[in-house]
């Protein structure tokens, strides 16, 4: 007889706007749920890895990569795998609880990327890291929302505006790349990237149960 595996709530975190994220486990599967929907499911992560492959093909020996946000750590793990030994990966994460979940039960999924000496955690808004670090990064990998117009919290809107994209461009080194993950089509985002001075392209990812888009902007 098949045993029913229960869903277990492992933790809950509140975003600055009052909405919440919750970590749940079901056997060896994990979900990060947001108010009313599943933000991330542990077995579906091919597009997070593909985003890094697209954005980090050519990195210098001292590469600096900014990942926003941490989630289940798949983008961070892929960025570390792409980064050279002398590189650094800064991961900006809004919620201390998400960092704790990755130090704890989620860590096994991605072989504990927070323990890699090349990882630096910036606890807080990825926008603040962008504004504080001009001409710093070779790649900026943004997966903080469901897409440029489908936000986890309203404050993230700035990132995808003309001002936000100009600040991102200013935070990139020459030949740098911005990658933005999205689950929804967005015909206006490539033109927005072009207006901000990027060479844009859109990549549709259909692999291992994933349907997602990655917008790239090269400086």
Ligand X SMILES: C[S@@+](CC[C@H](N)C(=O)[O-])C[C@H]1O[C@@H](n2cnc3c(N)ncnc32)[C@H](O)[C@@H]1O
93 in contact with ligand X (CB under 6 A): yes
Kindly identify the residues of this chain, within the stretch 102-141, that bind ligand X according to CB under 6 A.
Answer: 125-127
73 in contact with ligand X (CB under 6 A): yes
DSSP for 10-22, written as a single string: EEEEE-TTS-EEE
Task: Please state whether beta strands 29-34 and 37-41 pair in parallel, antiparallel, or not at all (unpaired).
Answer: antiparallel
CB of residue 177 vs ligand X: minimum separation in angstroms? 16
Q: Report the residue from 48, 54, 147, 198 that binds ligand X according to the rule CB under 6 A.
A: 48
65 in contact with ligand X (CB under 6 A): no
179 in contact with ligand X (CB under 6 A): no
Q: How far is CA 76 from the centre of its chain?
A: 8
CB of residue 159 vs ligand X: minimum separation in angstroms? 7
**Cβ distance to ligand X smaller for residue 139 or 152:** 152
CB of residue 107 vs ligand X: minimum separation in angstroms? 12
178 in contact with ligand X (CB under 6 A): no
Q: Report the residue from 144, 179, 205, 216 that binds ligand X according to the rule CB under 6 A.
A: 144
**Cβ distance to ligand X smaller for residue 70 or 90:** 70
CA distance 20 to 110: 24
CB of residue 1 vs ligand X: minimum separation in angstroms? 35
Helix, strand or coil for residue 97? helix
CB neighbourhood size of 204 (10 A): 10
- 72 contacts: CB under 8 Å, gap ≥ 6: 30, 32, 40, 42, 45, 102, 106, 109, 110
Q: Report the residue from 52, 54, 56, 95 that binds ligand X according to the rule CB under 6 A.
A: 95
Q: Report the residue from 54, 59, 72, 205 that binds ligand X according to the rule CB under 6 A.
A: 72
Strand ranges in the chain using DSSP code E only, listed in sequence order: 8-14, 20-26, 29-34, 37-41, 64-68, 88-93, 119-123, 137-142, 172-182, 199-207, 210-218
Sites of contact with ligand X (CB under 6 A): 21, 39-40, 48, 68-75, 92-95, 98, 125-127, 143-144, 152-153, 156
């Amino acid at each position: 007889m098949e045993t029913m595996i229960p869903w277990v709530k492992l933790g809950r975190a509140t975003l600055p706007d009052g909405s919440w994220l919750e970590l749940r486990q079901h056997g060896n599967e994990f979900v990060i749920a947001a108010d009313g929907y599943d933000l991330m499911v542990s077995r579906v992560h091919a597009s997070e890895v593909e985003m890094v492959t697209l954005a980090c093909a050519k990195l210098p020996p001292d590469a600096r990569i900014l990942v926003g946000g941490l989630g289940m750590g798949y983008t961070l793990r892929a960025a570390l795998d792409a980064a050279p030994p002398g590189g650094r990966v800064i991961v900006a994460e809004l919620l201390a609880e998400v960092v704790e979940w990755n130090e704890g039960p989620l860590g096994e999924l991605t072989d504990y990327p927070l323990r890699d000496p090349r990882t630096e955690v910036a606890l807080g808004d990825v926008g603040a890291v962008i504004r504080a670090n001009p001409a710093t990064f070779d790649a900026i990998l943004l997966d903080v929302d469901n897409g440029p117009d489908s936000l986890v919290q309203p404050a993230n809107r700035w990132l995808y505006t003309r001002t936000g994209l100009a600040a991102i461009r200013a935070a990139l080194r020459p030949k740098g790349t911005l990658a933005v993950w999205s689950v929804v089509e967005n015909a206006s985002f490539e033109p927005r990237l072009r207006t901000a001075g990027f060479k844009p392209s859109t990549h549709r990812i259909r692999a291992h149960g994933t349907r997602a888009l990655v917008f790239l902007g090269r400086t």
